[in-house]
Amino acid sequence: EGGQANQEENFVGWIDVKGQSPFYEPKITVGNDEILLTVAPNGESYYVMKPQKLWDDNLIKGPVHSLMSIWCVRADGGERTLVIDGVPFVSKVAWNNTNEIVVFNGGERLTIYDTDKNKLILSQALQEEEIVDFFWSPIENNKLYIEQPQSTGGGVYYVDPQKKVELYETKEKVFYK
């Protein structure tokens, strides 16, 4: 009675797949020198990272630093828009709860991009900050928790008023990580 044929018949009845493809994938074209970072939750665009020229081609010994460019690509036509140029290699990407703001982090640098307004947020302030990790608040879509190498407590960036607050300055009892 528990044979595979019987299980398949029962399983198919559980799912309503009329008019839907469970394997929908947005049309993404990534070049040979690009790395896919994230796809917008609505599937209309995606973000890629592309390396820039090395700082010094004649480097024989020592660290090799490569700066990256982040591009927003429209999924429907492939139109590309430069988000930011000259950032370190991005290792973490996260969207806020409303899927309007995406954050890129890598090389102790944070980049916040508002997809509705197509502009960077806090770009000047964040260029001078060393931020090793970040976390969106699960409750507020405007609050970004950060970790810094020189601070044991961390801090909070409020995206809408574009303000940074040290954790010890807040009355919060829970620091989301």
Report the relative pairing of strands 101-106 and 109-114 from DSSP bridges. Answer: antiparallel
Q: According to the model, what pLDDT value does residue 173 have?
A: 59
Cα(134)–Cα(149) distance, rounded to whole angstroms?
Answer: 12
Residue 53: predicted pLDDT: 65
Whole-prediction pTM: 0.76
Give the count of alpha carbons within 13 A of 57, CB side only.
Answer: 2
Task: Please give the Cα distance from 49 to 71 (Å, whole number).
Answer: 6
Q: What angle do CA 59, 65, 67 make, to 5 degrees?
A: 130
Q: What is the pLDDT of residue 7?
A: 46
SS3 for 30-54 is: CCCCCEEEEECCCCCEEEEEEECCC
End-to-end CA distance of the chain: 48
Closest CA relative to residue 175, chosen from 130, 142, 138, 148: 138
What is the per-residue pLDDT for 2?
Answer: 47
Q: Give, for all 177 residues of the chain, the pLDDT tens digit.
A: 444 454 445 545 555 555 555 565 667 778 888 999 999 988 889 999 998 865 555 555 555 567 899 999 998 877 999 999 989 999 999 999 899 999 999 888 999 999 999 999 988 888 888 889 999 988 888 888 888 888 777 788 888 887 777 766 666 655 555
